[in-house]
Amino acid sequence: MTDGPLIVQSDKTLLLEIDHAESEAARAAIAPFAELERAPEHVHTYRVTPLALWNARAAGHDAEQVVDALVRWSRYPVPQPLLVDVVDTMGRYGRLQLSNHPAHGLVLTALDRAVLEEILRQKKISPMLGARIDDDTVVVHPSERGRLKQALLKVGWPADDQAGYVDGEAHYIELDQTEWHLRDYQSQAVDGFWDGGSGVVVLPCGAGKTLVGAAAMAKAGATTLILVTNTVAGRQWKRELIARTSLTEEEIGEYSGERKEIRPVTIATYQVVTRKTKGEYRHLELFDSRDWGLVIYDEVHLLPAPVFRMTADLQSRRRLGLTATLVREDGREGDVFSLIGPKRYDAPWRDIEAQGWIAPAECIEVRVTLTDAERMGYATADAEERYRMASTAHTKLAVVKKIVEKHHGEPTLVIGAYLEQLDELGETLDCPVIQGSTRNRERERLFDAFRSGEISRLVVSKVANFSIDLPEATVAVQVSGTFGSRQEEAQRLGRLLRPKGDGRQAHFYSVVSRDTVDTDYAAHRQRFLAEQGYAYRIVDADDLLGPTLPEVG
């Protein structure tokens, strides 16, 4: 037995003692192959999964390195079955390889003939394969490259894709670093992506993922397609690229519901790309309109399922996914791995905060007691109606108003999911409301007014969850959300994490109805942030805001 900082358990969980003198070195050693599950104050929990091990193999780590790291840093003897399982699991990666054959084009080659025989008999896989060249090699149609990788991952034989990338149409892009410089972690993220060819960079909100994208574009020096969550986010990308690179406005096109511009750098929204007309995806020509050298997926954890299918046809292009969290509520993390690539760089939120690049944040859950009438209405409602009733309880309005008054003058976002509730909050707080139906021009005008300090309060729907840069926001009050979405919770806190000019702390409130499913969903939403080390303080609305809350409305 040694005094290592790590406890390796037979259920494949790893417990890391944070206060140990060697915890940083141990964490760096296990990060490539273990997924962080929880990061409270003293002991962080990681889990070794097949996907995490294959991620490590795809990024260049082998089983010997993984075993060595576990044995070296473990306080107790590592369970032998776990070590055997690590070796066997990692050994499954790469027994099938995709490559370019000089005469036959894209082919699948087996280093283990029995594996090829096995997958040839899979009903979902065999139609993707063409003629058999020899005992170990079979032709693959180029358009099936992505779908085949997805299917092979699902049956436990992830392929090593060595078919490479086309350079795409060259286009000069240079970073303009006269007034700023890439931070160390941003440079490491770009290098990790470029050395691997394609993959995902995971950085907290406010840590400058757009600059990582810009640096990757400069490195590629090629035409680039950027996919974003909405038009406002796309225009924000455009402003950043013009400010931070040699690109001019004329070189950047917008492909959205409002405009259909295709230029050397084209920014398209997921919505317009996945829109169907008469049962067909009419905008697929966007993918074939240029010889793209790089495709960037902003907020890759939100990639809609139809885009996965389209992405399968872009396997010959370099692909960069950017996200604050790889958590997907639909469990399609494996598809991100297959079609975009493995995780190439990951920085824990608290690490970036400790370096001063994102603001520290206090998270508070405010529990509200419903009135007798509200409780009775909730108790007698249909099950599918209860969450809406608990989320939109009228009693919350007075609590939200008090919180906003407590932070009078500070830039504050009030966030909700239900339109009637948003309108009611806007009226109660006497401030503008931004929701899905708000025109893009009006959204941008209000966001600009908020950034400049002309207005200090905004009520926003989920349209502000993603990729909206509001650096001076210091307070967010979440009134309702999308059930138990962990990614939504992370993105909402992320609106506050841009560093403040005066070093102020951010405050994130979640107003929750006591004794309802609202509390259950809140606990689930908070999981990802708890994993990143953010502790929620639970307070009673009366204790926080005073014993008497006036009626509103």
Is 420 inside a domain boundary? yes
Q: Are residues 206 and 328 in the same domain?
A: yes
Is 179 inside a domain boundary? no
Is 31 inside a domain boundary? yes
Where a domain ends, among 305, 332, 353?
353
Counted domains in the chain: 4
Q: Are residues 211 and 334 in the same domain?
A: yes
Mean of pLDDT over the chain: 86
Least confident interval from 54-58, 191-195, 215-219, 300-304: 300-304
- For residue 87, what pLDDT is reported? 96
Q: Tell whether the model's pLDDT for residue 104 goes beyond 80.
A: yes
Q: Are residues 459 and 315 in the same domain?
A: no
Q: What distance in Å separates the CA atoms of residue 378 and residue 393, rounded to the nearest whole number?
A: 9
- For residue 76, what pLDDT is reported? 94
pLDDT by residue (tens digit) across 456-495? 899 988 766 555 666 678 898 988 876 556 667 777 777 7
Model confidence band, residue 30 (pLDDT cutoffs 50, 70, 90)? very high
Angle at 75 between CA 73 and CA 78, to 5 degrees: 80
Q: Are residues 257 and 363 in the same domain?
A: no
Q: What distance in Å separates the CA atoms of residue 429 and residue 411, rounded to the nearest whole number?
A: 13
**Single-letter code of the amino acid located at 142:** P
Q: Are residues 225 and 303 in the same domain?
A: yes
Q: Are residues 154 and 28 in the same domain?
A: no
Q: Are residues 422 and 497 in the same domain?
A: yes
Mean pLDDT, to the nearest integer, of 135-162? 91
Where a domain ends, among 59, 92, 125?
92
- For residue 553, what pLDDT is reported? 40
Q: Tell whether the model's pLDDT for residue 549 goes beyond 60.
A: no
Is 524 inside a domain boundary? yes
Mean pLDDT, to the nearest integer, of 498-522? 82
Q: Which of 533, 204, 149 is nearest to 337 (CA)?
A: 149
Q: Tell whether the model's pLDDT for residue 339 goes beyond 80.
A: yes
Is 166 inside a domain boundary? no
Q: Tell whether the model's pLDDT for residue 265 goes beyond 80.
A: yes
Q: Are residues 79 and 122 in the same domain?
A: no
Q: Tell whether the model's pLDDT for residue 7 goes beyond 90.
A: yes
CATH number at residue 424: 3.40.50.300
Q: Which of 437, 472, 477, 435 is nearest to 455 (CA)?
A: 472
Is 171 inside a domain boundary? no
Q: Are residues 363 and 349 in the same domain?
A: no
Locate 277 and state its tokens: 């007309």
Task: Show the domain range for 486.
Answer: 359-545
Whether the CB-CB separation of 304 and 281 falls below 8 Å is answered with no
Least confident interval from 179-188, 332-341, 404-413: 332-341
Q: What distance in Å separates the CA atoms of residue 254 and residue 228, rounded to the nearest whole number?
A: 11
Where a domain ends, among 295, 318, 353?
353
Cα torsion angle, 69, 71, 74, 78, sign: positive
Element holding 57 (H helix, E strand): helix 50-58
Q: Are residues 318 and 387 in the same domain?
A: no
Q: Are residues 146 and 208 in the same domain?
A: no
Is 278 inside a domain boundary? yes
Q: What distance in Å separates the CA atoms of residue 364 and residue 528, rounded to the nearest whole number?
A: 15
Q: Are residues 345 and 454 in the same domain?
A: no
Is 175 inside a domain boundary? no
